[in-house]
């Protein structure tokens, strides 16, 4: 069976070419000047300096982080109870609920985000309904509310499913033990269920924060042209203004921010664990 390992070799070439080389090209472009060619590289850190010296870009960065953090928090607050209810639902309903939460994620994100445009419009369904009640219309489309709503809508199922998995994996006899030892409902939840479901929350945070901070079509469709997040800046550097070096530098900055956030999340989780013990 040893010679089966040669079956991996073509794939090694493939990932080298299709995954590693493009990643190296991003780094290469980020640390070189615009307009160089294969023979003359001029290394520079100007692309990074340009980003951090411009108040506009720093504002974009701050807004992206703020929107992504807000989205993540809302997803935890809505996702945790949902996952908890599903995990404790009647066995007959359990799988059906999971399926109902999963189905929307399989439907094209663009299509679902596009639907919100019609719902949130100034003369859309929600405002027509408010009109029937005799209330003033509220401007929703092209606000940060619409962007956060769109992100929560698209990414909440990921949070629910992650927490749900960790809740169902939990050993139920631990709760009985806690009960026997005299813990009440709230104590059982806070001291047993919550700490044991933290891994689910952590991977949920990863699955929500990462696409939220880098998203560009949700802010474009629901936030309008003026609502610029870091993903939109990257998009425009590559597809309209054509400054690949600067665009690469921004995406590296974004990647570093994501890595730092993941590191902090894991660290906080570990500290909570230690305190719990």
Partner 1 sequence: MKEKPRIFSKLWMAVLLAFFYAPILYIIVFSFNGNRSLTHLNGFSLQWYEKMFSSNDMMDAVFYTIAVALIATAVSTVVGTISAIGLSKSNKVLKATVEHINDLPIMNPEIVTAIGLLMFFSALGVKKGFLTMVLAHIMFCTPYVMLSVSPKLRSLDPNLADACMDLGATPWQALTKVIVPQIMPGIISGALISFTMSFDDFIISYFVTGNGVSNISILVYTMSKRVNPSINALSTIVILLITVVLLLINMIPILKERKRVK
| Binds partner 1 (CB under 8 A): choice among 6, 39, 92, 240 | 6
- 43 - beta bridge partners? 32
| Cβ at position 267, least distance to partner 1 in Å | 18
| Cβ at position 108, least distance to partner 1 in Å | 5
Q: Which residues of 121-155 are buried (b: 16+ CB within 10 A; e: fewer)?
A: beebeebeeeeeeeeeeeebbbbeebbbbbbbbbb
| Cβ at position 226, least distance to partner 1 in Å | 14
By CB under 8 A, tell whether 228 contacts partner 1: no
Say how far apart CA 46 and CA 169 lie, in whole Å.
50
Binding letters toward partner 1, positions 230-259, x by CB under 8 A: -x--xx--xx----x--xx--x--xx--x-
By CB under 8 A, tell whether 32 contacts partner 1: no
| Cβ at position 241, least distance to partner 1 in Å | 13
| Binds partner 1 (CB under 8 A): choice among 35, 91, 111, 277 | 111
| Binds partner 1 (CB under 8 A): choice among 40, 106, 134, 172 | 106
CB 155 within 8 A of CB 212: yes
* DSSP per-residue letters across 187-250: HHIIIIIHHHHHHHHHHHHHHHHHHHHH--HHHHHHH-TT---HHHHHHHHHHTS--HHHHHHH
By CB under 8 A, tell whether 177 contacts partner 1: no
Binding letters toward partner 1, positions 61-100, x by CB under 8 A: -----------------x--xx--xx-xx-------x-xx
Query: Nearer to partner 1 by C-beta: 21 or 268?
Result: 21
By CB under 8 A, tell whether 180 contacts partner 1: no
By CB under 8 A, tell whether 208 contacts partner 1: no
By CB under 8 A, tell whether 55 contacts partner 1: no
By CB under 8 A, tell whether 275 contacts partner 1: no
By CB under 8 A, tell whether 101 contacts partner 1: yes
| Cβ at position 56, least distance to partner 1 in Å | 20
Say how far apart CA 38 and CA 45 lie, in whole Å.
19
Nearest to residue 32, comparing CAs of 45, 16, 43, 19? 43
User: Hey, what are 256's tokens?
Assistant: 């570093």
Contacts of 98 (CB under 8 A, 6+ apart): 86, 161, 164
Query: Nearer to partner 1 by C-beta: 8 or 133?
Result: 8
Query: Nearer to partner 1 by C-beta: 8 or 181?
Result: 8
Say how far apart CA 201 and CA 203 lie, in whole Å.
6
């Amino acid at each position: 069976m040893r010679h089966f390992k040669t079956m991996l070799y073509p794939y090694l070439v493939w990932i080298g070419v299709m995954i590693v080389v493009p990643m190296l090209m991003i780094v290469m472009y980020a640390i070189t000047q615009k307009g160089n060619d294969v023979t003359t590289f001029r290394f520079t850190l100007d692309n990074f300096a340009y980003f951090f010296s411009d108040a506009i870009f720093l504002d974009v960065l701050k807004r992206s982080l703020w929107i992504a953090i807000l989205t993540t928090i809302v997803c935890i607050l809505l996702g945790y109870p949902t996952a908890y209810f599903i995990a404790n639902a009647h066995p007959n309903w359990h799988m059906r609920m999971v399926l109902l939460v999963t189905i929307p994620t399989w439907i094209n994100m663009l299509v679902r985000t596009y639907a919100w445009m019609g719902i949130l419009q100034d003369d859309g369904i929600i405002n027509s309904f408010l009109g029937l009640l005799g209330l003033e219309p509220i401007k929703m489309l092209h606000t940060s509310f619409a962007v956060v709503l769109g992100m929560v809508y698209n990414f909440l199922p990921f949070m629910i499913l992650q927490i749900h998995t960790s809740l169902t994996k939990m050993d139920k006899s631990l709760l009985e033990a806690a009960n026997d030892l005299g813990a009440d409902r709230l104590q059982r939840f806070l001291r047993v269920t919550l700490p044991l479901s933290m891994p689910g929350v952590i991977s949920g945070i990863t699955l929500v924060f990462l696409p939220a901070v880098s998203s560009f079509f949700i802010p474009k469709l629901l936030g309008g042209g003026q609502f610029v997040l870091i993903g939109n800046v990257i998009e425009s550097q590559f597809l309209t203004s054509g400054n690949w070096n600067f665009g690469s530098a921004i995406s590296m900055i974004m990647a570093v921010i994501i890595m730092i956030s993941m590191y902090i999340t894991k660290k906080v989780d570990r500290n909570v664990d230690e305190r719990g013990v």
